[in-house]
């Protein structure tokens, strides 16, 4: 079975008070995470938060580009872009 995979551009703001999806701006999803950008903690928190919000397992979300940057390209397996937007509520 061929599973769909969507790629989204994400801009992450680490060290926030709490995790929050701010919405899309110029086709970039803005997300705040309550973790510092040290030793991959913000990346782990981003994947954990998105998996909970999108109701998919963590293995379905991979950071394809931007591991050490605020701007990332994230691939989500099993959902298309329309379903992602719907589940994020943005």
Give the pLDDT of residue 4: 85
- The residues spanned by each domain of the chain are 5-88
pLDDT of 2 higher than 60 = no
- Fold that domain 5-88 belongs to in CATH: Conserved Hypothetical Protein Mth637; Chain: A; (3.30.1200)
- Tens digits of residue pLDDT in 25-59: 999 999 999 999 999 999 999 999 999 999 999 99
Report the C-alpha gap between 19 and 9 in whole angstroms: 17
Tell me the C-alpha to C-alpha distance, in Å, between residue 77 and each of 35, 61, 81: 24, 7, 10
State pTM to two decimals. 0.94
């Amino acid at each position: 079975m061929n599973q769909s995979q969507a790629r989204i551009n994400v801009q992450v703001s680490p060290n926030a008070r709490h995790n929050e999806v701010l919405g899309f701006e110029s086709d970039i999803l803005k997300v705040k995470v309550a973790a510092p950008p040290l030793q991959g903690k913000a990346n782990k928190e981003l994947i954990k938060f998105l998996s909970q919000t999108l109701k998919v397992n963590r293995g379905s979300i991979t950071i394809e580009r931007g591991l050490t940057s605020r701007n990332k390209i994230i691939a989500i397996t099993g959902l298309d872009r329309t379903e992602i937007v719907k589940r994020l509520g943005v």
